[in-house]
Amino acid sequence: MSIGGVPEPRPIAASAPSFDILTMSRPTPSVDPVTPVIGAEVRGVDLDHVTDADFRVIRDALMSRCVLFFRDQDISIASQKALGARFGELVAHPNDPGVDGHPEVMPIHADENSVRATGEQWHSDVSCDPRPPMGSILRMHTVPETGGDTLFSNMYAAYEALSERMRTLLDGLTAVHDGGPYYREVNRLIGRDDGGRAYPSAEHPVVRIHPATGRKALFVNQMFTQYIVGLPPAESGAILGFLFEHVGRPDFQCRFRWRPNSVAMWDNRCTQHHAIWDYWPATRSGYRVTIRGEAPA
């Protein structure tokens, strides 16, 4: 059986919550940092059965670590959607039809017949939208034996590492993010007719303030950001070129090695990510849900 043309793993039966036999209570979740700067692996949580206490741990950890990783989560699409909905409204992707019966679920799939893989450059998901995503949750059910890692970079750290003069220059500037150039190129590569649809475009601060933490983060990316408003093209291009390279510095990053039934959850407001397509012709397949955010300020 397939969903939206992408093979779905075996039917998933509802699983019982994990209990500690000695105490007859759920184990206390642990949050273990991946690097000093970004990322944490969360253990002791069953994403098929997220309690209110579990959710508080997940939410607080996401605010402090920016991206979270979960292992051995053989969860259903319904559970994945339910987890995302606890953070906010789920939204459909502007260039992907979703899967059958689940327009807000985006298949992430590459195999031996693919001409591209999703997310092969640093970006924040759909930053071209007037209300870019708050976060994304990706579950991979099928992964290659080696390769297919995803890199995540901390945009708080990227901003804070800039000189005071550069921060002063960038504060108050805005940039245009446009989905049209990227999505039309995707459609050309895969032979999909977009029917002349209009794609989202918006003007956002170059440096945004996170609504929950109050911290400043860089908010430009090479996938969607076209130019800085009010600057000549040469100046805009030079500044953006520097920032696009800057956000990929290794000291801002963590690297996630996928295993079957792993889940990654990230805050798009303060991270960028880069999926590495080094595993062709192997298959990498899963599902992503995206949570609507607010207009950046």
Q: Which residues are catalytic?
A: 123, 125, 273, 288
Element of type H or E holding 254? strand 253-256
CA-to-CA dists, residue 38 to 154, 156, 283, angstroms: 6, 10, 28
| Number of Cβ atoms within 10 Å of the Cβ of 17 | 11
For 69, 124, 226, the CA distances from 260, given in Å and listed in that order, are 13, 24, 36
Tell me the two tokens of residue 255: 């690297």
In three-state secondary structure terms, 180 is helix
3-state class (DSSP) for residue 1:
coil
Looking up tokens 């209009």 gives: 198
